[in-house]
Structure 1
Amino acid sequence: MGECVRVWVDISGSQSRAFALPARLLQTALLLQLPSRNTFPQMAACRRVQLLLLLMSVLISSSVCRDNGNLLGAGNSLQNPIQGGGPIGGNMAPAAAASQPRRATGWKLAEEEACREDLTRLCPKHTWSNNLAVLECLQDKKEDIQIEALLIRACEPVIQAYCHEVADNQIDTGDLMECLVHNKHQKEMNEKCAVGVTHFQLIQMKDFRFSYKFKMACKEDVLKLCPNIKRKVDVVICLSTTVRNDTLQEVKEQRVSLKCRKQLRVEELEMSEDIRLQPELYESCKQDIGNHCRNVAFGNAQVIECLKENKKQLLPRCHQRVFKLQETEMMDPELDYTLMRVCKQMIKRFCTEADAKYMLQCLKQNKNSEMMDPKCKQMITKRQITQNTEIAAVCGGGSSAGAGRPS
C-alpha cells in the first residue's frame, strides 16, 4: 500500500480525529471537495464526504497502517494539531496518546452528533450500523441535491411560469420536480432544463426511494406487497399488477392504499412519456430504435410512437414488448401518452365525465363531430386500426386488412 501518514480530520469544529492512511489513498480522498454551507446548508454540518472517504480508507488499510502494532484509526479522539499538536504525518507523543480516551473499536459515524440529523432525515435506519452503507446513502443524496440545485437555475423560466408556488416551499416534498416533469414540454422549457429533468427522472428510476412523493405515499404498500424490490420501475409494475388483479377480481378492499394508487397513477403517466423510463422496453428495442427511429427525439413518447408505426419491421423481442404495451394501453387508454397529448382539448370538450378506461371509446363516439380536431380524429383512427388488428391477431379470425378498417 506504500507509505502511511497520520491525518487529522475536523468533525464538529471542536473535536478532531486522527487517521493513519496510505499516502496514495489520502491523495485520492482529498480530491473530492465538500459543498459549501451556503450551497447545501442541509448537509454542511455533517462535513461527511472527506470524513467518509477517509473512513473507508482506514478500513481498507487496517492491515498495513499500524503504529507500533496498533492501528491508529477512528477510535482515537485527539487534540487538533492546528491547536498545538504535531504536524500532519508527524509522530504523536506517547504520553499524549496515553492520556486520550479511546472509544470502543465499533465506532459508528451515525453516533456523531454533527451527522445524526442528516442520517435521520436522509438514510434508512437499517444503514446506520454500517459505515460504508452510510457512505453510499449520503453520497447518493449529495448527487441528488447537486442535480436539484443545477435544475433550479436552469429551469427558472418554467418555475416562474408554472411552479413558483411549490418552489417557495421551505421543505421539499417532491412537488417542484413533479411540476417540472408535468410542464416539460411547455414553450418556456429550455433544452438544459428538459435534459436536466429527464436526467433526474432516470436517476430516480434506480430506486423508488429517490422519488420523495412516491416513497411517502407507497412505502407501507411496498413493504407489504413488494418486499425486497428497489428499482422504481419494478415497484411500479408490482403495485400496478396488484391493483389490476384486485380490480378484475372485484375484491371488496383493494390491497394497495388509496393514497398510493393516486401517486402510482402519476408515476405510470410520467413513465409513458419517454421510452428510457421503461428500461425493459428500451433495452429490448435499442437495435430497432437505431434501425427505424434514429432521427426521432426522445420524449413526448415520439420514439414509442415510431416503434408502433414500424411494428411489422421490428425484431421479435421488441415486437413482443410493443405488442404488450399496446395491450396495456387498450385496457387503460390514459397510459397512451400520444393519444392523451394530441386529443387533450377534445377530451376536455367531449369526455370530461368519462372514466379513464373508456376514454378512447368516448373519443370514438365523437370522432365525426364537426367540432372534432382533425389531428385528434386522425389519432383516434390510428388507434382504432391498431385495436381491431390486435383483436383479430389474438382471436385468429378474419383478414388483417378487413379487420383493420375502422368504422
Structure 2
Amino acid sequence: VLSCLMEHLYTSAMVPDCQKQLLELQYFVSRDFRLDPRLYKMCNNDAVTLCHAPDDWANADAGVSEEDDSLGPGVIFACLHRYLHPSPGEQKLSRQCSAEVHRVLRQRADNVRLNPHIEAMCRVALGEFCSENVNSGEEMDCLQQNYEKLDGKCKALIQNFTTEESEDIKLDRLLMRACEPMLNRFCK
C-alpha cells in the first residue's frame, strides 16, 4: 500500500496531509529499504550475487554493527543502482530487480532531500544556488539548472540522475504533474 501511495505522491488526487505523512515515511524507507518488501523480494538474488550481501541482509536482526556499515541497506541499494548501467562485461540486474530499483528511484527523485547521497554530495551547491527562491521539492530542478556551475561528485551525480530521468519519464516530476491530465487522457 505504501508503494502504491508513493507512486501517486505528486498527483492532483493526493491530499496535502497524506502527502506530508508519506514524505516523512519515505525519509525512512529511502534509507533502509528493508522496509520496502517489493524491492527486497525482487532484488534479493541480485543483492547476494552482485553486491555480496549476506543471505539474510533484509533481516533486521542481521543488521550491521554501528562500527561497520559497509553492507548496510544504503550501500546495498547503491550497489544495485550501479548494476542498472554496468561497465562492459559486467553482469546486469535481473529484469524484475531493475524495475524495482527504477520504482524506488522515482519515489526518491520526488524530493532531493530524500536522497541522502545527492544531498550529501551537493550540500555546498544546494546552499550556494538553491537556498533562496527555491520551493521545497524543487531542489533537483535547481541543481540541474545550475549544472555548469557544479563541481566534482555533485556534477557527476546530477549528470547520472538527468540521464536516468531522460530514460524514464516518470522521474521528471514537474513534467508528470503538468502533463498528468493529458497522460491519463491520451497515453493509458
TM-score, length of structure 2 as denominator length: 0.69
Task: Answer yes or no: is the 8 Å Cα contact 1:236–1:268 preserved in 2.
Answer: no
* Number of matched pairs: 169
- Spell out, residue by residue over 1:226-266, the C-alpha distance to the aligned partner (whole angstroms, 9 max, x if none): 1243324x4333224324338x76x9xx7533432332221
Matched, 1:298 2:123: no
Matched AA of 2:6: V
Q: Tell me the residue number matched to 1:230.
A: 72
1:181, distance to aligned residue in structure 2 (A) = 0.9
- In the alignment, which residue of structure 1 is the partner of 2:39? 214
Aligned position for 1:183: 8
For the Cα contact (< 8 Å) 2:10–2:173, is it kept in 1? Answer: no
Matches within 5 A, 1:31-42: none
Distance, in Å, in 1 between the alignment partners of 2:35 and 2:148 is: 38
Partners of 2:112 and 2:118 within 8 A in 1: yes
In structure 2, how many angstroms separate the alpha carbons of the residues matched to 1:341 and 1:311?
23
Tell me by how many angstroms 1:213 deviates. Answer: 1.6
**Aligned match for 1:278, one of 99, 115, 124:** 115
Instruction: Tell me how far 1:341 sits from its aligned partner.
Output: 4.0
Matches of 1:349 and 1:191, distance apart in 2: 24
Equivalent of residue 99 in structure 2, options 247, 262, 270: 262
Question: Does the C-alpha gap of structure 1 residues 310 and 268 become closer, same or farther in structure 2, counting only changes over 3 Å?
Answer: same
Q: What's the counterpart of residue 389 of structure 1? A: none
Match of 2:59 in 1: none
CA RMSD between the two structures: 3.2
Task: Spell out the pairing of 1:60-209 with structure 2 (5 A cutoff).
Answer: 176-187=1-12, 189-209=14-34
- 2:103 and 2:7 mapped to 1: Cα distance? 10
Structure 2 vs 1, CA of residues 320 and 348 (structure 1 numbering), >3 Å: closer, same or farther?
Answer: same
Distance across 2 between alignment mates of 1:284 and 1:347: 34
Measure how far apart 1:286 and its partner are: 2.0
Q: Determine the structure 2 residue equivalent to 1:73.
A: none
Amino acid at match of 1:231: P
2-structure distance, mates of 1:255, 1:316: 26
Distance 2:117 2:52 in 1: 21
Q: Return the letter of the residue paired with 1:244.
A: H
Runs of 4 or more off by more than 6 Å in structure 1? 348-352
Which SS does the other structure have where 2:31 is aligned? coil
Q: Relative contact order (C-alpha < 8 Å, sep 6+): which is higher?
A: 2
Residues 238 and 344 (structure 1 numbering): CA distance in 2 closer, same or farther, change over 3 Å? farther
> Within 2, Cα distance between the matches of 1:312 and 1:256?
32
CA contact (8 A) 2:165 2:172 kept: yes
Answer whether contact 1:214 1:263 (CA < 8 A) is retained: yes
Evaluate the alpha carbon distance shift between residue 351 and residue 241 of structure 1 in structure 2; reply closer, same or farther with a 3 A threshold: farther
Letter paired with 1:239: L
Q: Which residue of 2 aligns with 1:130?
A: none
CA 1:210/1:285 → structure 2, altered by over 3 Å: closer, same or farther? same
- TM-score normalised by structure 1 residue count: 0.36
Amino acid aligned to 1:199:
E
* Structure 2: gaps (5+ residues): 54-70
Amino acid at match of 1:279: P
Indicate conservation of the 8 Å contact 1:293/1:307, yes or no.
yes
Structure 1 unaligned segments of length 5 or more: list them: 1-175, 353-407
Distance 1:322 1:258 in 2: 25
Q: Are the equivalent residues in 1 in contact too, given 2:126–2:143 (CA < 8 A)?
A: yes
Q: 1:261 to 1:345 in 2, by over 3 A?
A: same
Check conservation: 1:206, 1:230, Cα contact below 8 A: no
